Chain A
């Protein structure tokens, strides 16, 4: 497993990976730290909003900040992301509007943002389905002769899905510019990763003819370097890469889950000692960068982002009843129009009945 920063924050050199980080100066290192703190704050704030009844559900990413920021910050704006529902940190890197991040979890819409504005598809709930979408998109990139890449995010549970295997087959056969980014967070709701795979997940990829990298997913620099290596391969005609980022889901699967029913508290403690943000703070301290000014600046940014997101969430307008019929098709559909017409008449009778009271 590739690790460039130890759990106690010591930078270790690596003959192959270091050259992919030459531009990561003090300022960029601090920026990565800020990103991780901000998305942890976004995540925590969203969890609070759910507990307060403002969101119907939220899938926390607590513990996976390095995996998401390290990979998300490696991407170019013309790359395209196909993720699951937990990659809110990646969406943040893509520049998602904070209110758009929450619209789906408040229950207002089925997806929150315009995929083409930030080149990221909206969260995919069917496990593993998006790996095929990324592979197809990459096929399109290849046909276009472009040097962009597609990246797909999925978890350890997804690797048992047929779609993921099929995506690996197609990606290898057509040698398309796609990155399979697996966040092995050790749990698929209540099922441990050992139930999905008897071998390290990354070991599967070479069997498909796809090179794999297994990195410490709580080490933002290792993740950044690995993703850059994969992107470079994709952009230069080298085909797909599989990255397994070994991380840990410190929170529940979603706010509807109770991990105390299936998970040992000691395990959580062990992983808390490998917390990606604590590790980054230790590294910054070693480098003499963890100044009061940095801490104050980052805290202020996180506060401002959380405040803006909360206000955006609470201020969202309620959907209109007739929205239920919109956009099923791109052009009118006679059978659906009839149902729409009937329901609007029905609603009008209710309005009339209310008016007469």
Chain B
């Protein structure tokens, strides 16, 4: 383990002329060259020459005093977020090599603010997975322990941060997809309030649940990234008409003003080392003067089935469009139905097919009420409970019930696989923001903690996160 400068440090160093963006970009490219053969965090990489040129331009802007908020920062983007300059595959053979004719709104915002997008990051196919193993381009490995997964579905986003192959990363979080990788790679992930960040250009999995979410190696850096990408987008009818919140200047919370509560019974679902790290962090907070209590929450134990029912219904619908007409994977039969079946049969991986079938099932006539409609009802219950609980305190849970699994350990058993999301799906069902950051290590493997606030409670989360960082000292750490 060692430390490496984060976004805030780099911006400071660029501004003072202590570091040059070209020098930094070269170092990042070198890390990628060294680590990528082992880790497989990227699906496609920008031509190094173009990256260095962009860094050179950034350097000039800094010298001329024309630097933009993220000038010369290298941001990797999950490969389910549309870029018109690099293929966007969602880690599926179906879309290899689809190059969208437009940029996602968040991509435009990053570029307008001077960030350099130097590659597209690996993920579980169509973001369906919790380990990063369901990618058509092969699994991503965890830089902290190469026989372990980095968590998913934003596997590449967590992994590239953990080996300093990027300064920041965008992931997407449908049910924990940036927060599990953050927990397993000792990085920070923040799933924003639903609607705070535009989804335009995000290849959808579960539209009503997911948000494009920033990841970085510190809470401050995540705040910087979120500030850059948040805000109303007329191109997304679900985006909130709010100003982008001001986050980067926030100070750590005073322990005395912090109220944290733990949903009763929830931490007990976690493995022992996770539980221990979680409670020892809470004790630390308490000893500093924070109030730590418990809260009763109905329905949260059934959040997982409600989440999967809704996510898979939406997924089955979203994926109907891949029929071999407009996208790279084709069929060959002259018969329409056979042609579609061939294209879909070849283009989708096993997990995706399984989820489509389940999604179709829960929406079918005769089953819809029992599954889909019941799940939406349960969702409202969970949402109301979360909104009620977060009025008085910030909810704390472990980020994941388990330590980073070994490759192949979880994917054989869907119930065990889906159970990894037990803590994270709650925030997606409720539409509230959730922050995951390092809580500690156990036998060299990272453990994360999750905090949830009410809607648009990002500033509260950032301030608490900065305080926790001060207590744990776990910021800007990288593997190796």
* A and B: bona fide binding partners: no
Report A's interface with B, CB cutoff 8 A: none
